[in-house]
Amino acid sequence: MSSDVPPVPSPGVGHSFPFRVISDPAFNKGTAFSIEERDRYGLHGLLPPHIESLDEQVQRVYEAYQRKDDDLERHIYLRALQDTNEVLFYRLLLEHIEEMLPMVYTPVVGQACQLFSHIYRRPRGLFISYPMRDSIGALLRSRPYSDVDVIVVTDGERILGIGDQGAGGLGIPIGKLSLYTLIGGIRPERTLPIVLDVGTNNAERLKDPEYIGWRHERISGQAYFDFIDQFVKAVQQELPQVCLQWEDFATPHARPILERYASKLLTFNDDIQGTAAVALGAVMGAVGVTGKPLREQQIVFLGAGSAAVGVADYLRAALVQDGLSEAEARQRFWMVDKDGLLSSDRRDLSPEQQVYAQDSANLVNWPKTAHGAIGLADVIQQVQATILIGLSTVGGAFKEPIIREMASKVDRPVILPLSNPTSRSEACPEDLLRWTNGRALVATGSPYAPVVWDGRTIPIAQCNNVFIFPAVGLGVVASKATRVTDGMMLAAARALGEHSPALKDAADSLLPPLSEVRSVARAIAEAVGMEAQRAGVAPITTRPELVARIEASQWLPEYGPVAD
């Protein structure tokens, strides 16, 4: 008998446990189970006899991945691997992070959400539907693992730039939490994706015979907010220490929810605060290149929704930190939405938008459209804009004449078309560099290939929240913070800006390469943890102690012992 053939296992192993070991992605090692483990758990016969290393497994699954001929199929393959063997899934992603991050998150996750009902395979996370609003606690208790550090929750109404996807929005929390683990190192079994299924107003989804969500128009008004309150109270009861991240809620709901609960539990909204922090980090890197301090910038926005206002709020806070008064900081902002420049004579502005309304008395002689509005082109013509940020989801909105006008007034214009997916981006980097003769400092919301200009290869930073929220999660867990403050997010943004490669080489990216994102996450987590202590929302410890806890908290995709 060959020495490679394992002995027959002794009897007495429970019948169901072997199957659990190989069917639970948190336990499963697949072909990497050792002889001793196969003996102990009765796995012989359930597995082929050859024992592989993790490296060999990665090579095999990567070969299979490469045979997929479109991005959606690659997404489906990776999700299936995640549902089979989480260590292998994360090791594969870690070794091919630049190639695979767009497959598990933006931009491919948008298509996956649209087709979620058609590609649904196995349960992951929780569906909490409105008809079961009186049983939310019981639904939370059905979670697969009892200990949870981070929940990402959506109601599916404003998925990326593609709108209401109903229950299909669960793809976003699944993707986000994959990045919490991949980058922040939060243990995968301590994460929980949730969709609050309050119906959908997407007629295409409601008519789809395969749609798996609650087939009903969206609940709105007070009934909606009462449901959110029921959910939050159930989370507080079942998981009082969990970090709760709100994701892809529509503008009328996103900020009211954040303001209602931010002081009551450990929570933040990634679209408002995460987007703001990563944009501020990119701006800080760009400002370092221009040599002109942040307090001297003139900042123009296209888009005035919750994400845009959130970015403006953080930039305004940074301007005040850099020495401007609140009034002076507000005057640096020019925000344009579909109805034109936000101005004091408009009666359709939310309280958050009114903060950025320019005094209409100063705009009397400005050119206006036939409808009396002041558009983006008019603002760029009248103002010496140094920073232009797009969060409008209007693809191609940064037209050539607008960009050339901006570039005629400043040496290094900072231009951030942040809407995603790619089809909704306000401009493509190649055009921006061409229209500015290579002078623009560019970061985008979706991934773009490097641009070759004048013999140089210019990497394009993806202003992706992956630089912020996984690191914030790591910092919160390691520091044992009880709240997420704006100060903690600002600290994260400044730490990110300090790691901008463009500070060493002006032709380099405004944000670090993805290959360094785990190490950068540790530095950001340190800044978050120290600010949490300063703000009094985390136990006081020394910086070396905090750093040691951060390093100990960052999980690595390696096989360990199986828990009985």
316: left (phi over 0), alpha (psi -120 to 50) or beta: alpha
Burial call 224-253: b when 16+ CB within 10 Å, e when fewer = beebbebbbebbeebbeebbbbbbbbbbeb
201 belongs to an annotated ligand binding site:
no
Contact 302, 399 (CB under 8 A): no
The count of C-alpha atoms lying within 13 angstroms of the C-alpha of 510, restricted to the half-sphere facing its C-beta, is 29
465 belongs to an annotated ligand binding site:
no
The catalytically annotated residue of 29, 65, 176, 448 is 176
Beta carbons within 8 Å of 341's beta carbon, 6+ residues apart? 334, 335, 358, 363, 373, 374, 375, 378, 379
Contact 464, 422 (CB under 8 A): no
User: C-alpha angle 557/481/468, rounded to 5°?
Assistant: 55
Other C-beta atoms within 10 Å of 439: how many? 14
The catalytically annotated residue of 41, 90, 105, 559 is 105
Task: Let me know if 180 is a catalytic residue.
Answer: no
Contact 307, 315 (CB under 8 A): no
**Which has the closest alpha carbon to 228: 260, 185, 200, 251?**
260
Cα–Cα distance for residue pair 425/399, rounded to 1 Å: 12
248 belongs to an annotated ligand binding site:
yes
Query: What is the residue whose two structure tokens read 């009114």?
Result: 354
Query: What is the residue whose two structure tokens read 């490296």?
Result: 55
Task: Let me know if 105 is a catalytic residue.
Answer: yes
With both helix axes pointing from N to C terminus, report the angle between 71-82 and 86-95 in degrees, rounded to the nearest 10: 140
Beta carbons within 8 Å of 329's beta carbon, 6+ residues apart? 316, 319, 320
420 belongs to an annotated ligand binding site:
yes
Structure tokens at 530: 């120290």
Q: Strand 461-462 relative to strand 126-129: parallel, antiparallel, unpaired?
A: unpaired
Cα–Cα distance for residue pair 402/406, rounded to 1 Å: 6
Give strand pairing partners of 417.
390
Residues in binding site: 158, 247-248, 271, 420, 464
Cite the active site residues.
Answer: 105, 176
Residues in binding site for a divalent metal cation: 247-248, 271
